[in-house]
Amino acid sequence: VRLCQPDSLHICDGTEKENTKILNFLESEGVIKPLTKYENCWLAKTDPKDVARVESRTVIVTEDQRDTIPVTAPRVKGQLGNWMNPKTFQEAVDDRFPGCMKGRTMY
């Protein structure tokens, strides 16, 4: 919350009342649509510009690189993913996301 600086914070309580309220809000905003053939089934689509789920942009964070991907020779890019240690990852997050939730509610 300190990093993202949302205008408000909503702690979900998991009640049916809250679920209904959130679903109604998302539907009214056009974020989800009911799939009427099935009970309590909703369609939510992401904007293709919002996602970067490709291997070249996926990072695995662990203390030891050998826990996740094969280690390559220095300056040789591996083919099976990208690794980052927790300290470097936290620095990247702190650098990229300050204020990213301003004007929005964080759930």
Query: Is the Cα dihedral 93, 94, 97, 103 positive or negative?
Result: positive
Residue 17 pLDDT grade (very low, low, confident, very high; cuts 50, 70, 90): very high
Domains and CATH numbers, the chain: 1-46+54-71+78-106 (3.40.449.10)
> 60 and 83 in contact (C-beta within 8 Å)?
yes
Q: How far apart are CA 56 and CA 54, in angstroms?
A: 6
In angstroms, how far apart are the furthest CA atoms of the chain? 55
At residue 106, the pLDDT reads 96
pTM above 0.95, yes or no: no
State the burial class of residue 83 (Cβ atoms within 10 Å of its Cβ: 0-12, 13-18, 19+): buried
Query: Is the Cα dihedral 13, 16, 20, 21 positive or negative?
Result: negative
> In this structure, which amino acid lies at residue 73?
A
22: its two tokens:
């959130």
At residue 68, the pLDDT reads 80
Q: What is the pLDDT of residues 39-88, one digit of tens each?
A: 999 999 887 777 666 767 788 899 998 888 777 788 877 666 788 999 99
